[in-house]
Amino acid sequence: AQCFEITLELSCCKYPHEEKLPFFWNKNKASLIEYIKQVHLGVKGQVFDQNGNPLPNVIVEVQDRKHICPYRTNKFGEYYLLLLPGSYVINVTVPGHNPYLTKVVIPEKSQNFSALKKDILLPFRRQLDSIPVSNPSCPKIPLYSDLPSHSAATKPGLFFFLVTVFHMFV
């Protein structure tokens, strides 16, 4: 579901003493809150048929972007796409029907820290009894598992450089 996980390390010490925690919080609070606000960039909504019924398992994606794992609506027809500010064409695909395209403009600043709300009403002439659930759109084996790791931990020179730079400014 387009989940992005991150790890934030605010100190070179993995387990700082309890009395140091307020210092790290105060030093990084504003930056962390601004970062958290970024999760609300994008567009969200529901996909409905002509009769107002939510449509599950519908592919919702940005046109002309290749996705390893295209986003599918949940059982309530809900979707969410994390997008930077700009103009996009959203491609909504229901199995057995022609794709439906709609344009969205993501503003520079989100209102009330919420993604742009865009419900999509598909122009079907009849109610869909059910939308077949196809095979998962995500591969079971990661596509890039055979590539060498790009982690700084596997490159000692880069790791020591980053540690040195960090200690110069702390």
Residue 31: pLDDT above 80? yes
CB contact set of 146 (below 8 Å; sequence gap of 6+): none
- What domains are there in the chain, each with its CATH number? 40-169 (2.60.40.1120)
Residues classed as catalytic: 9
**pLDDT tens for residues 70-123?**
889 999 999 999 888 899 999 999 888 889 999 999 988 766 678 899 999 998
Verdict on whether the full-model pTM lies above 0.95: no
**pLDDT tier at 9, thresholds 50, 70, 90:** confident
Give the amino acid at 13: C
**pLDDT tens for residues 142-154?**
444 444 554 444 4
